[in-house]
Every structure is written in C-alpha cells, then in structure tokens.
Amino acid sequence: MVELGAPILRKIADPVDDVFSQDTSNLIRGMVDVLTQQKGIGLAAPQVGVKKQVFIVAPEQIMQRPFDDISTGLVVINPTIEFNTKTVTYEWEGCLSIPGIRGKVPRQCDITIQYTNIHGELRKERYSGFTARIFCHEFDHLNGVLFLDRLEDIKTQLVTDRFYATMVEEDYK
C-alpha cells in the first residue's frame, strides 16, 4: 500500500490499453486482495504503486466475482465522470493511503460515469450520494488528487480517526 508522500499519488494515471492482459489481471487481483485485507470501500491503482486508470468501488466492503456489480464490488477501468448537478455536499472521508485522518470533503455527488468493466464492456451508469462520493474519491486518485487537496479549511475540516470516532459517538447519544 502506497502512502501519502509517495510521488505516484501525485501523477496522472495512464489508460489501460488491454483489459485482458496478464498485467491488468494481476493488477486487479492484487487490488482486490489489498482492498479486502484493508477492509476498504475503494482503491485506485496508484495506491498500490501502479500508474494505471483502474479503481475498485465496494460500498458494502463485499468483493465477489465477477467484480462487475456495485453490490459485490465493481472494477472500473479508464473512467470518465460527468457531474449532473452543481450542488455540493460535505461529508467526512478517509483514505487507505492517508491512514489515521479524515477530512470533511466537498463534492458533487450526482454523477454519470462511463467506464470499461472487467469483461471489456463499455458501461454508462448514474450514481448519487455516498456511492458517487466513493467514485469521485477514487477518480481523483487517477488524476493525482488527494482528498486533502479538496479541503476548504484544514483547521475545522481535518481530524484524526480517533477524534472522528468520538464525534460519531456523540451524534448517536
């Protein structure tokens, strides 16, 4: 797992030329393993040290073959995103490459994404809310952008995971 400070996290990822190549298969298999081990909900290829336009979205932390459905983990290759609204929402986000901290990130969370799936099929789908936020976060990784770059005020919008947990507990009391 590549962490904050690694130069690859600031580079623009290259398109995948061959969805069915051994390199692509190995990359996806490795990413699925890392995401499962880390109990994450999203992971981009640059986070495992590979400068390719691939990410995985798994909002329920479920990864089951064939990795082509949002409910069981979706592999996204060579994506483009279109924003369907100008409305911005703020939610807390974390990142496997920036362990231990969270930020309250502004995002447009109504998107249409076009991508190639693991079977080489071109897909176009619309997502909103939390799931769209994951897509946007991972898409940022493909463009060398981290959630920290999107924070408007580090003094009030950046906390440790430990402090975040106490905030969540307070919300439920």
For the stretch 91-124, pLDDT in tens is 999 999 999 999 999 999 999 999 999 999 999 9
Tens digits of pLDDT across the chain (173 residues): 999 999 999 999 999 999 999 999 999 999 999 999 999 999 999 999 999 999 999 999 989 999 999 999 999 999 999 999 999 999 999 999 999 999 999 999 999 999 999 999 999 999 999 999 999 999 999 999 999 999 999 888 888 877 777 766 666 55
Q: pTM for this one?
A: 0.93
**Contact (Cβ atoms closer than 8 angstroms) between residue 24 and residue 114:** no
How do 158-160 and 42-44 pair as beta strands?
Answer: unpaired
Residues labelled as active-site residues: 138
